[in-house]
Amino acid sequence: MAEEAILGHLEKNDEISDSGDFASQSGIDHNEIVNVIKSLHGFRLVDAQDIKREKWVLTDEGKLYAAAGSPEVQLFLAVPPEGISREELQRKVDPSVYKIGCSQAIKNKWLEIGKQQVSRKVQQVEDTAKDLLTRVQNEEALSQADIDALKRRKLIAPQGDWKELEFKEYNFNAKGQPAEGGHLHPLLKVRRQLQMIFLQMGFEEMPTNNFVESSFWNFDALFQPQQHPARDSHDTFFLQAPSTTKMLPEDYVERVKHVHEHGGYGSRGYGYDWKREEANKNLLRTHTTAVSSRMLYLLAQV
């Protein structure tokens, strides 16, 4: 019903200037009108723009000035054309009118206030403040400059009707909808499944948390020549501190050195001068097979 009313109106007219007025004229709830407009706007069938309105009411001081006139005008009218003494003027008007009226009248250049005498600088004035306050009472629109001027003098305040409205109670301790956590990548999930299969069969995992390794276990124990390009193809990064290791099994180091230089176990070796200094260099482990070389040695010692 609301959608038909809106589209029917727009077929005959250029726009709906105010959804509130349109709801009143159509006899349809304003919230329903707003929801349909937002829906049509979302589908780009209509263009819609929010209208922000501020409603102001007079403060107690503003009501007083709206009825009796602003202090500056009251003070001006209390000064006769021939002038008046300050003392007599203070007796003639209320103290608050004198205090506020003096500052505003001087600001507007209406009065000349000397040490003893007060005189007019103009013959007549307009009570702009009272006119603006009357317009606020009549719910007429004001410019932002006029609103700011009245606000600075604390003659108007935002309407506080919302304070008397009944709002739905909210349970701020209620939990929101649970957010979905992270999920395993399919490859990681398969790896985990295979890991559990091998563990259930009795296999044990090798410790792979030793990310710094010596060149001996990373290369030499796997029989990669010390000067072979294969060592560079691993994106090898050597450590500056500690640059070398001193924890190598000497007996095994000698056997590895012998096979590199002279061969053995069916191999002819590489026939070069194997250097212990090169094997002692520490690096960031380039492959997990280095862990295998260390574990095979440890298992052989059992």
Residue 249 — very low, low, confident or very high, per pLDDT cuts 50/70/90?
A: very high
18-28 burial: b if 16+ Cβ within 10 Å, else e: ebeebbeebeb
pLDDT of residue 218: 95
Token pair 């956590």: residue? 181
H or E stretch covering 156: strand 156-158
Domain ranges of the chain: 2-42, 71-126, 212-300
Residue 280 — very low, low, confident or very high, per pLDDT cuts 50/70/90?
A: very high
Query: How much of the chain exceeds pLDDT 90, in percent?
Result: 59
Residue 161 — very low, low, confident or very high, per pLDDT cuts 50/70/90?
A: low
pLDDT of 271 higher than 90:
yes
pLDDT of 133 higher than 90:
yes
Q: Check whether the bond before 249 is cis (ω within 30° of 0).
A: no
If you average pLDDT over residues 24-33, what whole number do you get? Answer: 88
Residue 40 — very low, low, confident or very high, per pLDDT cuts 50/70/90?
A: confident
DSSP 154: T
pLDDT of residue 125: 92
pLDDT of residue 165: 67
CA of residue 75 relative to chain centroid, distance:
53
Long-range contacts, 134-138 (Cβ 8 Å, 24+): 134/66, 136/56, 136/57, 136/58, 136/62, 137/58, 137/66
| CATH architecture under which domain 71-126 falls | Orthogonal Bundle (1.10)
Q: β-strands 156-158, 212-214: how paired?
A: unpaired
What is the separation, in whole angstroms, between the first and last Cα of the chain? 87
> Among 73-77, 86-90, 231-235, whose mean pLDDT is lowest?
231-235
Which residues lie across from 178 on neighbouring strands? none
210 close to 217: Cβ distance less than 8 angstroms: no
pLDDT of residue 153: 92
5-22 confidence digits (pLDDT tens): 888 888 888 888 888 888
Q: pTM of the entire structure? A: 0.43
If you average pLDDT over residues 50-70, what whole number do you get? Answer: 87
Number of H helices, E strands in the chain: 14, 7
pLDDT of 124 higher than 70:
yes
Give the chain's radius of gyration (CA, Å): 46
Average pLDDT for the chain: 90
Residue with more model confidence, 234 or 245: 245
pLDDT of residue 265: 93
